Structure 1
């Protein structure tokens, strides 16, 4: 369910009782979480080293395959209701953005014909407000094409990444162990996702974030008729090449403008909408998505080789370097606060590259 910003809908949604981000129970850190997180950081580095041995280049531990990178504008209108005027959305504005489409696994050579979750990352420039790191002035926003996160908390992540390292090349053995788990459906879902055109794919934050005074998840919804029609275009393994998603994306952006709606789903019930466990979808019928901004992407070349290399070798996307009023919440995000810097550090060392603090679109090829 999605709510428009007409006055009747706004009044109904404004009257609902939303969880404050500092309310009791929003975050509960379990025992031994720090140990689990460090173990995951070490395992992600192990995955990166294994990929380096194959490609002689070090990539991120997840979302290693770049499908395309585009530039656009995030537009916030002045007609938002009061409960949505939060954080960077408190005032109307237009902010330059650079966005990367990706495939989620850590293998940069992953065949597009293999169904897997897809990712989308957005770096938003010139955003006003207090940052976690005052030297980082961009807001990073991350998405994944599945609404629930299989790596639902630090303990689960440690268990699943360990299984993938041991049995990732032997699916029958991996499935035997996944089927012994209570969350087997969640863990196996990634292998059966709908493999469709990236431009038609809805993207989700999966985890919860502070949203000004409140707690929310967010999503990105393709909004042009051209994008929506592409949803029926699915990958056919016997008819398409191994880089079909990249080809489709490049062909689309050369011929069409794109538009997405950025929507937030506010937390009202911590039992129905857990923050610590990201493996549960927040019911959109009970807790509707509400639009806060539009992402507009004009026609362009979505696969500039220089920009791709710059992003992969020098840029870092990390919402923990963003606004304090957009603070990542819950176990998976506390994990990211350790794993992301560790992954980035190893990449720079192994590739002989330096991280560049990108604060302006002018720094990007």
Structure 2
């Protein structure tokens, strides 16, 4: 939790209700922008298919490792006892570490945002229609606290530039530098390129948190993980697959532990929900711990597990509890583009989607039985 002069009053603060006026404001023309973005995502997927002769997701195409562990929810104060964290419990989880862009061959030595997708199993509660038959909660994380694709309008503009100038960084930067959000757009190329086990992960966007609204975060908390913060990728001496190598070496010798924290919405002027391009001030609005993730020693890069996840599994924050509803423009965008990306991927690869309901369905070895 961030240092704060008045953290003792966290239980008595006036947190904004998730469906209060102004939390979500859908701008005119958003639906048209979203459909245009879905089409562009498919265009980018097809371009990668031409390179690799296999279809991947439009984003987070490079798998760095997949592990199994446990989400431990402990007793928390009443204002934090919400949704998935409403009472003490233990849930099996599977987590996939990834690199954010849509190229599965992207060199690890190139600084880019990293991602983490978590599937939580055996979750009780009312689910959204798309996942009502599957008691799982999908939770997505990214290594940057702010999202440069801050809303649907911005996403459309940036994707247009990436499709047109993606192969020419100098030309792309000329157009990015003409924008008012230049610093935000260029920040993805300047993120620290460090060991994944020392990387703090963020939701970037806002979610319903039971009665309230929150962003969430995973904080590496073991001493072993903290010591790895200074482990920086060296382009001149490390191989292009260094991140997955480091991850595999770590899990062969250590268990991982993360704090699961939330940052609650108190002031819409300071903490916008519709625009995800700015982190919420953690001094004013402190992170609060609601649980922990524990991952034991294991092989983090099992080829059959990687193939199963990439070809059959779908991560989608709209697969989950209504009390954990994704909020804001970037999440309304995901509600359309994730199914569109997945559908094209299954169609081209000739693979069917498997809605995993038991962690044992994620293979530990052998062959994929579908």
TM (norm. structure 2) is: 0.96
The match for 2:316 is: 318
Contact kept in structure 1, 2:3 and 2:283, CA below 8 Å: no
Alpha-carbon shift at residue 363 of structure 1 (Å) = 1.2
Q: Is the aligned partner of 1:291 residue 2:289?
A: yes
Contact kept in structure 2, 1:3 and 1:289, CA below 8 Å: no
Q: Is the aligned partner of 1:92 residue 2:88?
A: yes
The match for 1:42 is: 39
Q: Is the aligned partner of 1:51 residue 2:48?
A: yes
Q: Is the aligned partner of 1:244 residue 2:222?
A: no
The match for 1:162 is: 160
Contact kept in structure 2, 1:3 and 1:291, CA below 8 Å: no
Alpha-carbon shift at residue 136 of structure 1 (Å) = 2.3
- Cα separation, 2, equivalents of 1:88 and 1:279: 26
Secondary structure of the residue that 1:319 maps to in structure 2?
Answer: coil
The match for 1:126 is: 122
- Cα separation, 2, equivalents of 1:85 and 1:243: 40
Alpha-carbon shift at residue 3 of structure 1 (Å) = 7.3
Structure 2 residue corresponding to 1:259, chosen from 231, 240, 257: 257
The match for 2:72 is: 75
- Cα separation, 1, equivalents of 2:3 and 2:309: 35
Contact kept in structure 2, 1:257 and 1:298, CA below 8 Å: yes
Structure 1 residue corresponding to 2:112, chosen from 111, 116, 120: 116
The 5-angstrom pairing of residues 79-228 of structure 1 reads 80-133=76-129, 134-228=132-226
- Cα separation, 1, equivalents of 2:200 and 2:222: 12
In the TM superposition, structure 1's runs of 4+ consecutive aligned residues that sit over 6 Å from their partners are none
Alpha-carbon shift at residue 135 of structure 1 (Å) = 1.1
Contact kept in structure 2, 1:20 and 1:215, CA below 8 Å: yes
The match for 1:361 is: 359
Secondary structure of the residue that 1:189 maps to in structure 2?
Answer: helix
The match for 1:2 is: 2
Alpha-carbon shift at residue 88 of structure 1 (Å) = 1.1
- Cα separation, 1, equivalents of 2:3 and 2:11: 12
Secondary structure of the residue that 2:183 maps to in structure 1?
Answer: helix
Contact kept in structure 2, 1:196 and 1:234, CA below 8 Å: yes
- Cα separation, 1, equivalents of 2:2 and 2:178: 37
Alpha-carbon shift at residue 2 of structure 1 (Å) = 3.2
The match for 1:302 is: 300
Unmatched tracts of structure 2, length 5 or more: 364-370
Secondary structure of the residue that 1:190 maps to in structure 2?
Answer: helix
Contact kept in structure 1, 2:214 and 2:263, CA below 8 Å: yes
Alpha-carbon shift at residue 332 of structure 1 (Å) = 0.2
Contact kept in structure 1, 2:109 and 2:240, CA below 8 Å: yes
- Cα separation, 1, equivalents of 2:40 and 2:228: 37
Alpha-carbon shift at residue 12 of structure 1 (Å) = 1.2
- Cα separation, 2, equivalents of 1:336 and 1:237: 33
TM (norm. structure 1) is: 0.97
Alpha-carbon shift at residue 364 of structure 1 (Å) = 1.2
- The more displaced of 261-270 and 131-140 is 131-140
**RMSD over aligned Cα atoms:** 1.1
The 5-angstrom pairing of residues 224-235 of structure 1 reads 224-235=222-233
C-alpha offsets along residues 181-211 of structure 1, whole Å, 9 cap, x if unaligned? 0000000000011000000000000000000
